[in-house]
């Protein structure tokens, strides 16, 4: 099979299927084509909803890795951005902070994230963080922060890095929404003379 984008896979793959397999694989490729078209239609609908009813999503989509679904979910989940005094509170609201098991004088090591709040938005933010840290993500303060955490090594360093970037991403999105700012991917790096904060 040749390399091709997902949007044209069903067309390109049919050219390379042996004649003997066409009766079995032909209907599967038709289904893939149909699903691909339906996904594209839903994406267009999301784009229209964002533009017409939730223009604030454009502020959030400045960040690479944030698409219409993530931006719309963020806006609809938080509803009113001014209910949070500080942008940092959004990470805790979405369950992207470590849970603690503190009792009296005893304070054991930190546990996994609390997973409080909206699960879908948390998953979307972690997915966006994986994009930012992945091979297609460009250089940014978020990426540098994640790479710094991942470089510490350890059993789950890449997972920890993705969650940390998702938490910072939630804070950043809230800040962009509140302040209606233009996003600068390397703002902290420029402020500190080349090193990410």
Task: Quote the pLDDT of residue 105.
Answer: 58
Task: Quote the pLDDT of residue 197.
Answer: 41
Which residue blocks in 54-186 are alpha helix, DSSP H? 57-60, 68-78, 89-93, 119-133, 141-150, 157-179
Task: Quote the pLDDT of residue 196.
Answer: 44
Q: How far is it, in rounded angstroms, from Cα 114 to Cα 147?
A: 23
pLDDT along the chain (197 residues), means of 10: 75 84 89 92 95 96 95 95 92 81 54 76 95 93 92 86 94 94 84 56
Q: How far is it, in rounded angstroms, from Cα 186 to Cα 3?
A: 33
Q: How far is it, in rounded angstroms, from Cα 70 to Cα 177?
A: 14
Would you kindly state where each structural domain of the chain is located, as residue ranges? Answer: 6-53, 56-191
For the chain, give percent helix, strand, coil, nearest 5.
Answer: 60, 0, 35
Tell me which residue of 96, 102, 108 sits closest to 163, measured CA to CA.
96
């Amino acid at each position: 099979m040749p390399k091709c984008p997902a949007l044209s896979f069903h067309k390109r793959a049919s050219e390379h299927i042996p004649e003997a397999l066409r009766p079995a694989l032909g209907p599967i490729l038709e289904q893939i084509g149909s699903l691909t078209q339906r996904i594209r239609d839903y994406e267009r609908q999301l784009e229209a909803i964002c533009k017409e009813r939730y223009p604030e999503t454009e502020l959030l989509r400045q960040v690479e890795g944030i698409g219409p679904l993530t931006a719309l979910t963020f806006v609809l989940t938080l509803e009113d951005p001014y209910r949070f005094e500080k942008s940092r509170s959004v990470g805790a609201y979405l369950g992207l902070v470590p849970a603690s098991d503190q009792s009296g004088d005893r304070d054991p090591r930190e546990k996994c994230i609390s997973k409080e709040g909206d699960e879908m938005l948390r998953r979307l933010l972690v997915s966006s963080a994986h994009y930012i840290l992945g091979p297609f993500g460009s250089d940014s303060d978020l990426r540098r922060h994640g790479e710094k955490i991942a470089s510490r090594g350890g059993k789950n360093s890449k997972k920890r890095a993705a969650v940390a970037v998702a938490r910072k991403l939630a804070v950043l999105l809230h800040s962009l929404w509140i302040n209606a700012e233009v996003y600068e991917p390397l703002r902290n790096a420029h402020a500190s003379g080349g090193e990410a904060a």
